[in-house]
């Protein structure tokens, strides 16, 4: 089996050297409380939802929807807060998913009449008795730069909460998300995507997203506030970097989702079989358990996305 070279690891994954003492291994730390009027959270498992995790989408609703294809592995319900994304990640699949060219997609904007329509849809979900987490977002980043001014994400969270829905934020916006930390409860979740640990690699692939250290510090802050956290290791641009990310973040990450890189020629030069086994071995050694059902993931587990799981045999 080929070993990862130290040169390759250094390019992508310079250690952050976070002092172990600064990390938290017990949670929750802060006493953020769920709204007593809302449904109770599962006290034994902060990540598991206390309601069915396969909510059907409500007919006629388009803003809150059930994702299809590979996105369905991430969430049963999702909502795209903005149109386009100003982070401009090189590997972004969203322009093709939304049938827009990359230049046009990078000029993000608010969605027409979004909050009024969202309120109406959330009301319908509530009337149908559908609860659960809504992932923000697949085809944009909820904490992209545009959100600093528009604050649509904050109002989206407030609307969903008012109608018994929770949120699961997946962002590369780093500390921009801290503005809304006060809205999160232990029934919500906060997640970040990490592809590398060096600023150089991040600027190359995700030029306008928050830098890796900022994202890591932010997820640590959410963890300290008692909010369930997870990290998306997808796309994997460098297997050594992704493994190092696990080592450097596991103390404050409840759950990992591990994928691979698709659609890039450099993906063909990566030994995915080796990476899949190395990631599973590492996560297992750290006490995480593999769960092959994305709808029943719990704290202390990890999920290997189907694209990567195919390489395990
Ligand atoms: S943050 Fe997400 S949606 Fe935005 S450009 Fe990057 S990959 Fe695309």
Q: Where are the domains of the chain?
A: 38-232
Question: What's the average model confidence in pLDDT over 144-157?
Answer: 98
**For the CA of 88, the nearest atom of ligand 1:** 5
**For the CA of 91, the nearest atom of ligand 1:** 7
Mutate to test the pocket of ligand 1, among 79, 94, 106, 212 (most ligand atoms within 8 A of CB): 94
Of 258, 132, 144, nearest to 189 by C-alpha is: 132
Expressed in angstroms and rounded, the spacing between residue 213 Cα and the centre of ligand 1 is 18
pLDDT score at 263: 83
pLDDT score at 57: 82
pLDDT score at 265: 87
CATH code for 38-232? Answer: 3.20.20
Task: Please work out whether the CB of residue 108 comes within 6 Å of at least one atom of ligand 1.
Answer: no
Please, are residues 299 and 254 in contact by the beta-carbon 8 Å criterion?
yes
Mutate to test the pocket of ligand 1, among 105, 141, 195 (most ligand atoms within 8 A of CB): 141
246 to 164, 171, 179, 240, 250: CA distances (angstroms): 33, 17, 26, 10, 6
Q: Supply the pTM of this predicted model.
A: 0.87
Q: Please list, residue by residue across 166-193, b when 16 or more beta carbons sit within 10 angstroms of its beta carbon and e when fewer do.
A: bbbbbbbbbebbeebbebbbbbbbbbbb
Q: DSSP for 154-176? A: HHHHHHHHHTTEEEEEEES-GGG
Cα–Cα distance measured from residue 272 to residue 37, given in angstroms and rounded to the nearest whole number:
47
Report the relative pairing of strands 289-290 and 301-304 from DSSP bridges. parallel
On the question of pLDDT at 155 being above 70, the answer is: yes
Question: What's the average model confidence in pLDDT over 248-266?
Answer: 95
Q: What angle do CA 304, 218, 96 make, to 5 degrees?
A: 55
Mutate to test the pocket of ligand 1, among 140, 203, 232, 264 (most ligand atoms within 8 A of CB): 140
On the question of pLDDT at 124 being above 50, the answer is: yes
Expressed in angstroms and rounded, the spacing between residue 253 Cα and the centre of ligand 1 is 21
On the question of pLDDT at 268 being above 70, the answer is: yes
Residue found by looking up tokens 């993000």 in the block: 108
Question: What's the average model confidence in pLDDT over 92-110?
Answer: 95
Expressed in angstroms and rounded, the spacing between residue 97 Cα and the centre of ligand 1 is 12
């Amino acid at each position: 089996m080929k070993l990862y070279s130290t040169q390759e690891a250094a390019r992508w994954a310079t250690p952050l050297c976070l002092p172990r003492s600064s990390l938290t291994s017990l949670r929750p730390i802060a006493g953020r409380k769920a709204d007593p009027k809302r449904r109770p959270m599962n006290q034994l498992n902060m990540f598991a939802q206390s309601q069915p995790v396969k909510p059907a989408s409500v007919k006629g609703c388009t803003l809150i929807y059930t994702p299809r294809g590979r996105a369905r592995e991430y969430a049963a319900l999702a909502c795209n807060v903005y149109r386009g994304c100003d982070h401009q990640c090189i590997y972004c699949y969203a322009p093709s998913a939304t049938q827009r060219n990359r230049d046009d997609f990078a000029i993000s904007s608010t969605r027409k009449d979004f909050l009024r329509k969202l309120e109406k849809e959330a009301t319908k979900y509530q009337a149908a008795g559908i609860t659960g987490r809504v992932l923000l977002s697949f085809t944009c980043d909820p904490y992209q730069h545009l959100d600093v001014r528009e604050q649509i994400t904050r109002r989206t969270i407030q609307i969903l909460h008012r109608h018994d829905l929770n949120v699961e934020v997946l962002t590369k916006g780093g500390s921009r998300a801290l503005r809304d930390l006060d809205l999160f409860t232990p029934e919500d979740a906060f997640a970040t995507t990490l592809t590398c640990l060096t600023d150089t690699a991040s600027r190359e692939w995700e030029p306008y997203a928050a830098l890796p250290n900022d994202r890591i510090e932010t997820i640590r802050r959410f963890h300290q506030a008692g909010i369930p956290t997870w990290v998306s290791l997808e796309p994997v641009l460098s297997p050594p970097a992704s493994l190092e990310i696990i080592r450097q973040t596991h103390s404050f990450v409840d759950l990992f989702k591990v994928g691979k890189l698709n659609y890039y020629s450099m993906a063909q030069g990566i030994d995915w079989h080796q990476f899949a086994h190395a990631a599973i071995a590492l996560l297992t050694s750290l006490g995480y358990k593999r769960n092959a059902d994305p709808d029943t993931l719990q704290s202390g587990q990890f999920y290997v996305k189907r694209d990567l799981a195919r390489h395990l045999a």
